[in-house]
Amino acid sequence: MTQKAPRILLSAYQCAPGQGSVSQIGWEWYSRLAQRAPVTLVTHIRNRKVLEAAGAPLPGTEVIYIDTEWFAGPLYKLANLAFPRSEHSVFLVSSLDYFVYDRQVLKQLKPRRAEWDVVHVVTPVSPSAFTVLTKLGLPVVRGPLNGGLVTPRNFEEYMKADSAWFYPLREAARPFRTLLGGGTPDVVFSANAATERGLCAAERKHSRRMPEIAADPNFYQGTEWPSTPGKENPLQVLFVGRLVPAKALPLLFDAVRRVLETTPVEVTVIGDGPMRAQWEAAAAPLGASVRFLGAQPSAVVAEELKRCHVMCLPSVRESGGAVLLEAMSAARPVLAVNYGGPAELVDETVGRLVPAEGPASVIEGLASALQEIMAEPEAWRARGRNGKLHVQRRHSWDARIEEGLAVYAELVGRPLPAAHETEQAECSGCLDSEHHAVPAGR
């Protein structure tokens, strides 16, 4: 390497492959930065088993584990008792442990501050999860953050089941920011406009746009449709995600029921969660037109993407939408609701956004799109091809990491080493093929 890369302290409270979308984000940044720069990962001890199974510490890196289970364990049990059906609310309550973790990181690593050039707090992704690591006296990057999404109107049934009344309480920590010593990072990556609006005034001055999700185009290989949908060949629709109220899967079932007499459709559901039994019952009248596969590894998801014609995410409150990028990277068109994260990822060149005015508008929009795919298969096949190119150009993990490295170099005043220079000079730090093929999380 002819130019020194910045030495990075990467704080990822959630960081583990295959353990959910936020943990996957932490893992993607750690595993890919490890190929380009000296990295010290600091993370919660609950991630240790999965990280070590994945090969951590990766060559040329160090991993430091922070143990706050004395607080996190009881908090998680309490949250599950209070919100048995809302995983999102459980996540919000149990994430309060992050503030204990963050202060412990500062206490433990302050004596070693001279070992790093820049600090990047990559997870959690909530805008309200401020950090005290600004007290290390080093340049600090925060994010990409994703939050600030207002609860949608006219979907009361789904939002009530998801304990949506609790969402505003996630901002409860904000008034304690100054009291707890939270500082303003030098750069804040914000996933979307809603997130940026939710930042405090000082953070907005340092905000730069970067989605928190991405895909690995090399994992989900783009393939042509297995066959053109028609009367003798049902339209294959795929859903992937947690079966929680906000995903609103019954809206897709209702759309299928509306078109089934004239448009043969089969829906494959990959995922599990508290709503599975209820939604299986809701799909029962559709018979063999719907099959539930439960939670599946990424390899199975990749195979199901090959056999489907379109990915549908009927979620009415989706901050991100990583499964949409995964589908695009597999050259599949996508259907989603025009709200939140999907609204910033999907357009008519790669799929269709349906109106978010209420359940009826979503059902009508999905039904119309399903019929259109059958009537104009070549146009929708082209949308899939466009999606593949879109991910390669704008939403690959490599593109995210490259942008992050450029910001680190800017903050510490060093030139950015070229990717090929890093790989040639420090090939011992490169990951093996198994680590290169880590997919984006759910």
* pLDDT tens digits along 48-107: 999 999 999 999 999 999 999 887 777 777 766 766 655 666 666 567 789 999 999 999
In angstroms, the CA 358 to CA 360 distance is 6
| Confidence category of residue 126, pLDDT binned at 50, 70, 90 | confident
pLDDT in the model for residue 433: 28
Q: What is the pLDDT of residue 1?
A: 39
Q: Are 229 and 259 in contact (CB under 8 A)?
A: no
Which has the higher per-residue pLDDT, 81 or 303? 303
CB neighbourhood size of 436 (10 A): 14
Residue 259 CB contacts under 8 Å (≥ 6 apart), including other chains: 265, 367, 370, 371
Give residue 437's pLDDT band: very low, low, confident or very high (50, 70, 90): very low
Using the predicted structure, report yes or no on whether residue 418 has a pLDDT greater than 70: no
Neighbours of 138 (CB within 10 A): 18
Question: Which residue is it, tokens 């609790």?
Answer: 166
Instruction: State residue 381's pLDDT score.
Output: 95
What's the pLDDT at 424?
Answer: 33
Lowest-confidence region among 21-30, 73-82, 283-292: 73-82
Whether the predicted pLDDT of 440 surpasses 50 = no
Q: In this predicted structure, what is the pLDDT of residue 182?
A: 65
pLDDT band for position 432 (50/70/90)? very low
What the block records as the tokens of 260 is 């089934």
Any idea which residue has 């008792």 for tokens?
A: 81
Distance (Å, whole) CA 84 – CA 105: 31
Query: For position 14, what pLDDT does the model report?
Result: 95
Q: Which domains does the chain show, CATH number per domain?
A: 8-214+396-436 (3.40.50.2000), 235-392 (3.40.50.2000)
Cα angle vertex 19, ends 15, 25, to 5°? 45
Please give the mean pLDDT across all residues of the chain. 84
Residue 425, pLDDT above cutoff 50:
no
Residue 177 has pLDDT above 90, yes or no: no
Per-residue pLDDT, averaged over 425-433, amounts to: 30
Q: 172 pLDDT exceeds 70?
A: no
User: Higher-confidence residue: 258 or 1?
Assistant: 258
Per-residue model confidence as pLDDT tens digits over 369-392: 999 999 999 999 999 999 999 998
Tokens 């990962």 belong to which residue?
41
**Helix count and strand count (H, E) for the chain:** 19, 13
Looking at residue 60, its pLDDT comes to: 93
Averaging pLDDT over each range in 356-360, 422-426, 434-438, which range is the top one? 356-360
Chain centroid to CA 120? 18
Give the residue-averaged pLDDT of 167-182: 54
Cα 359 from Cα 226, distance rounded (Å): 31
Whether omega for the bond prior to residue 144 falls within 30 degrees of 0, making it cis, is yes
pLDDT bracket for residue 226 (50, 70, 90): confident
Q: Give 1 or 237, the one with higher predicted confidence.
A: 237
Determine what percent of the chain is predicted with pLDDT higher than 70. Answer: 82
Percent of the chain at pLDDT > 90 equals 58
